[in-house]
Structure 1
Amino acid sequence: MRRSKYRRANSPAWFSGRRRIVVVAAAALAAFGGVVTVTQISSAGTKSQNNAGTNSALAACEKLQAPARSRLSTQTRKGTYTTNNGQVTQHADDGAGDVATTAQLQARCRDWVTKNVANQTNRGRGNGQGNNGGNNNGGNQGNNGGNNNGGNQGNNGGNNGGNASAAPSQAASSAPANNGGNNNGGNNNGGNNGGNQGNNGGNNNGGNNGGGAVTPPPGAGLGVLTNSCDTSNLEDHDGFQKGNRCVSTEFGEVGAAANNPTLLITNAPRQVNRNTPFTIQVSTRNLIRDRFLAAGQGGYYVESSVLQNGIVRGHFHTACRILDNRNAAPAPDPVPAFFVATEDRRGGAQPDTVAIQVPGLPQAGEFQCSSWAGDGSHRIPMMERANQTPAFDSIRVRVR
């Protein structure tokens, strides 16, 4: 996934925003960023620094604590279950009841550190690729040119290129850094110019094509209040259901207008008796229903939107809540009577229909029953144009 050129050039692509996933990311940067900015370093010093970064990240894992349980809908069957003869998976309350324990959080965190800090840092040294790029190409060519200094600079370019590509990120974002180090530092004769270019390429992570001009951000001149959490005084959002937090997850991929998701409630009763089960038929188009990260496990607002063949991957939600006043917008905080997130690993460009089984509503009155699409982070999917209708529908059901 290509990063915008106006972002800070020395930030790894997997680290979006001022403070990323838990406290671990800060320690991860220490493992990567500290190495990238050093041009001459001994292998022993590098190993010590990498170990320190890994140990710091692991120590942060031990401080994680399980979140408090959130309020759940009153009538929904609890947990995760299947309907439609086992073909459809329903997650009650968007997985809010599936709360991770402290032990689970800490174990997941340690596993992430092992895979993304310790291992990636070792790979960042290129398994010899970065050094080979500098020593074999830059070094030898520099000596052939009679410029030992150039050989050293070429080596630095190779090291920086190798380390920059080590950060866990999308392949597209790491490739320019690697090319910047190897091609410029390693292959451009190892001279001063070649070495310096390699060094610059490594430091800039290849984001600005070797140090090109920074372009203005989108919305420049419109009076945008902010476009990142760098300016927020709120705590970072951590993937759990907490308010007064700042979410740094990037929006992600938006499809073409013809591929944007739509949703329609195609059949539902207008009137039912109390505590009587009924069915709501929901049709979706351009939604692959295969991405669901439980909110109670820390999967809320943490995944950017992802397309598959131009179609959004996600799921959809259905909820029913009582309306106390038909002439005013309802309060947002009461829990609904019914709420499920539907994931059945089906869906796509063609419309299809899923039957949602509501177990019954508990009190007489008018209920609002709604369905809406969600991406991997439970948000209504983005649209190419501002004047498109979101993938959302709502009906009223009278309960007697």
Structure 2
Amino acid sequence: MTVTQISNAATEDTVTDRALAACDDLQAPNSTRLSTQTRKGTYTTNNGNVTQHADDGAGDVATTAEVRNRCREWVFENVATESEATTLARRDRGNNNGGGRGNNGGNNGGQASAAPSDAATSAPAGEAGQPAGEAGQPAGEASQPAEEEQNNGGGDQNNGGNNGGGDQNGGGDQGNGGDQGEEQPDPAPTATTPPPGAGLGILTNSCETSDLEAHDGFQRGNRCVSTEFGEVGAAANNPTLLITRAPRVVNRNAPFTLQVSTRNLIRDRFLAAGQGGYYVESSVLQGGLVRGHFHTACRILDSQNQAPAPDPVPAFFVATEDSRGGAQPDTVAIQVPGLPQSGTFQCSSWAGDGSHRTPMMERANQTPAFDSVRIRVR
């Protein structure tokens, strides 16, 4: 009797299957409140040279189908084996409604949402990443000629025993004799490397200690963000920003222009908040300079003697990217369509990295890339 065993990877509960199942549980967020006077959507100014994203892309809200399809694409590219990806993509092809990458990042030379680095998904060093041969061995040892391996490993009784390989009989089975047979010292305990801030009594440095849900890239509060801070440049390369020209008084609903100068900011990274690009990308340097964009907002001040409430939406808010900027300062014109009511408005501009956070600085006593002016509307 002949028994034939047939294995169908598509029916097994693999890591890929579990990742795809998690994608199917994702839900798109509800739309958020938007600034009142800003032109909606994404548009260009300055003769088409500058791209403005209203409300940091918050109005570009992804659908549940788009979120799930984009997640499945990421699984195919980063989790599934080649054969699994082919099989699952064929099965999934009829269900894809075009919600893949969206339109964010296309002008930036990147995808709509940043996938973890190879290090985040690869096997530990010494396993998948090592050359053929013994895991963790230098390439030179793993690639010794066959006859040399036989000489080193052939002395099962004589060679390994003298080298402390008694339990394994000298490592003869491994063909590496002396190296395999030597006793290895116990690994040093990880506690010998103190964490950053050791001795300062920090509350935590990981979401592992948080009871809050994981942040998912959308504009949701009471979540814990696990995205690493990323790369911080040298003090001389940290971004700065200045509003160089602004009116002091304007009439209601009268358009006006703010001139904003940035230095050490490459304005080429933007992931729309409404598409799940909020707090998901670590800071990335290019030639030592931060890649990101900058924001401009105008909000009314109910009082000039007290800090304003944080939650009301502003009258105006745009995120600016134009694939320009660098070590030398330059200036961008921000066109405000007008402010709707009389009173004192605070108009501010500040730099952001790819995930909208104010860029980090080498020193604690540096001033962030931020500026603000007061404008009276009559």
Shorter-normalised TM-score: what interval?
A: 0.7 to 0.9
For 1:366, the equivalent position in structure 2 comes to 344
Q: Decide whether the 8 Å contact of 1:311 with 1:349 is kept in 2.
A: yes
Q: Decide whether the 8 Å contact of 2:257 with 2:334 is kept in 1.
A: yes
2:323 counterpart SS class: coil
Given residue 133 of structure 1, which amino acid in structure 2 is its aligned partner? G
Matching of residues 216-231 of structure 1 within 5 Å? 216-231=194-209
Distance 1:132 1:245, change over 3 A: same
Deviates most, 263-272 or 124-133: 124-133
Offset of 1:130 from its aligned partner? 5.8
For 2:253, the equivalent position in structure 1 comes to 275
TM-score of the superposed pair, with normalisation by structure 2: 0.75
For 1:395, the equivalent position in structure 2 comes to 373
Pick one of 163, 166, 191 that aligns with 2:180: 191
Pick one of 322, 335, 346 that aligns with 1:357: 335
Given residue 301 of structure 2, which amino acid in structure 1 is its aligned partner? L
Aligned counterparts of 1:312 and 1:275: Cα–Cα separation in 2:
35
CA deviation map 1:8-58 (0-9, x unaligned): xxxxxxxxxxxxxxxxxxxxxxxxxxxxxxxxxxxx99x799961111111
For 1:57, the equivalent position in structure 2 comes to 19
For 1:313, the equivalent position in structure 2 comes to 291
Is 2:346 the counterpart of 1:338?
A: no
Given residue 103 of structure 1, which amino acid in structure 2 is its aligned partner? A
Aligned counterparts of 2:196 and 2:376: Cα–Cα separation in 1:
46
For 2:72, the equivalent position in structure 1 comes to 110
Is 2:108 the counterpart of 1:146?
A: no
Aligned counterparts of 2:285 and 2:177: Cα–Cα separation in 1:
38
* Larger helix proportion of the pair: 1
Offset of 1:247 from its aligned partner? 0.5
Is 2:33 the counterpart of 1:71?
A: yes
Deviates most, 231-240 or 136-145: 136-145
Distance 1:127 1:349, change over 3 A: same
1:353 counterpart SS class: strand
Is 2:252 the counterpart of 1:290?
A: no
CA deviation map 1:208-255 (0-9, x unaligned): 9x9877410111111111111111111100000000000011111110
For 2:360, the equivalent position in structure 1 comes to 382
Count of residues in Structure 1 that have an aligned counterpart in Structure 2 = 313
Structure 2: runs of 5 or more not aligned: 1-5, 85-120, 136-141, 157-167
Aligned counterparts of 2:194 and 2:271: Cα–Cα separation in 1:
34
CA deviation map 1:181-218 (0-9, x unaligned): xxxxxx89662449x79xx9xxxxxxx9x987741011
Given residue 133 of structure 2, which amino acid in structure 1 is its aligned partner? G
Q: Percent identical across equivalent pairs?
A: 73
Aligned counterparts of 2:252 and 2:326: Cα–Cα separation in 1:
36
Offset of 1:119 from its aligned partner? 3.5
TM-score of the superposed pair, with normalisation by structure 1: 0.71
For 1:132, the equivalent position in structure 2 comes to 132
Q: Decide whether the 8 Å contact of 2:252 with 2:342 is kept in 1.
A: yes
Distance 1:52 1:358, change over 3 A: same
